[in-house]
Structure 1
C-alpha cells in the first residue's frame, strides 16, 4: 500500500491541485474518496486529518498535512529528485516563483474561484447563478489577466522558463473557467490563452481530469 494518501473528492479544486502535483512527480498514492454529501468531511475521523473539515487531507507515512498549496510545496521539495522539477533552478527564480504563487492565491483565485462557483458549481448543484457576482468578478479577473499578459510576454511560464508550482496552482480554477462563459476573458488575452492551452495539455493534468470520470 502506498504510504502517500490523499483524502478528498475529484471535483474539489483544492483536491485537484494536490493530485496534479503527485501526478507530475509520478508518485504512487492511494486516493481516499470523501463523501461530502454524507458529511464525511465533518466526522471525527476526518477532523483528525483536517481540523477545519475541508478537503483535501494528505498523509505521507506519519506526516499529516492540509491546505492544498502547502501540500504541493511539500511534494515538490520532498520528492525533488522525481518526475517534473516544479521548482526553479536558482534562489532568485525561486523568489519569483513565490511571488507568483502569492499572486495566484490572493489576486487570481479570489476572483476565479467565485466565477467557478457561480458558473460551474452552482449549475451542477441546481442552484441559480448570481449574474451581478459574475459581472463583478469578471471585471476583477480581467485586470489580473492584464498583468499576466505582460508577465507572459517576458517569460514562457509565470516564474521562469519552465513549468513550476506557480503555474500548477492555477490549473483547477482554469479548468472550471474554460467550461464557462468567462472563458472569453482568457481568450481575449493571447499570451494568457497560449499559456492556458500549454499547461492544461500536460499529461499529469489529464490524469486528474480522468479521475473525475471514474
Structure 2
C-alpha cells in the first residue's frame, strides 16, 4: 500500500513531511485537505488526526500525525533509503536529539509565531500585531546567536552531515525569507550560509512543487 500524505501545499508541517519523503526517495501519494472549508476538522480526516490539523500520514495500515513524529518514523523505518537523516552512536544521537529539541523549543517557538503574524494574518484579513512581532524578533535574535556560534564550528547542526535536525527548519526558514526577518539571517554569515545550503537541496525544491 502506498504512503499517503493528507495535507495542503501551504502547510509548513505538511512540507516538512514531504521533504523528508523526497530526501528518502520514497514514492507517495498526496491527498488535498481544504483548510478554507475546514475539511481538517471533519471526517474522514479526523479519523487520522483527531486534533484536526494537517498533515495526516498513512503507511499501509499505520496512521500518524504530528509532522516531526512522522519524519522520525520515516527516517528510522526507511533508514536504508536515500539520504541518511539519523546518526549512529550514543554521543552523536545525543547531539541529534538536542538539536531536534532546540528547533521545536527555541527556534520554532519564535519563528513560526512571526510567520503567522506577518504572513498568515494578512491572508485571513486579520491585523498583524507589530508589537508582538518586534518582541518575537528579539527572542529569535537571541536564538540565532546560538545557531551562529554552532554553525561556525560545523557545516550542519549536528556535524558534517545533513540530518533531521536541519530538515525540520526548512519550511519556516523558507517562509521567513520572504519577510524582514531575513535581515537577521543575513547578519549572521554562518547561519545565512547554512540556510542557503539547505534551501538549495533538490528534495526541498521538489517538496515545494508537490502536487495535491
Alignment TM class, shorter chain as reference: over 0.9
CA distance in 1, matches of 2:35, 2:128: 22
Q: TM-score, normalised by structure 1?
A: 0.96
Gaps of 5+ in 2: none
SS at match of 1:211: coil
Q: Please tell me the root mean square deviation across aligned C-alpha atoms, in Å.
A: 1.2
CA distance in 1, matches of 2:207, 2:114: 21
Q: Deviations over 1:64-108 (max 9, x none)?
A: 000000000000011111110011233211110100000000000
Distance 1:33 1:204, change over 3 A: same
SS at match of 2:209: helix
2:206 alignment partner in structure 1: 207
Q: Is the Cα contact below 8 Å between 1:88 and 1:160 reproduced in 2?
A: no
1:75 alignment partner in structure 2: 74
Q: Is the Cα contact below 8 Å between 1:4 and 1:30 reproduced in 2?
A: yes
CA distance in 1, matches of 2:210, 2:119: 18
Gaps of 5+ in 1: none
2:169 alignment partner in structure 1: 170
CA distance in 2, matches of 1:42, 1:122: 20
Count of residues in Structure 1 that have an aligned counterpart in Structure 2:
212
CA distance in 1, matches of 2:133, 2:210: 28
SS at match of 1:179: coil
Q: Is the Cα contact below 8 Å between 1:152 and 1:158 reproduced in 2?
A: yes
1:140 alignment partner in structure 2: 139
1:128 shift after superposition: 2.0
Q: TM-score, normalised by structure 2?
A: 0.97
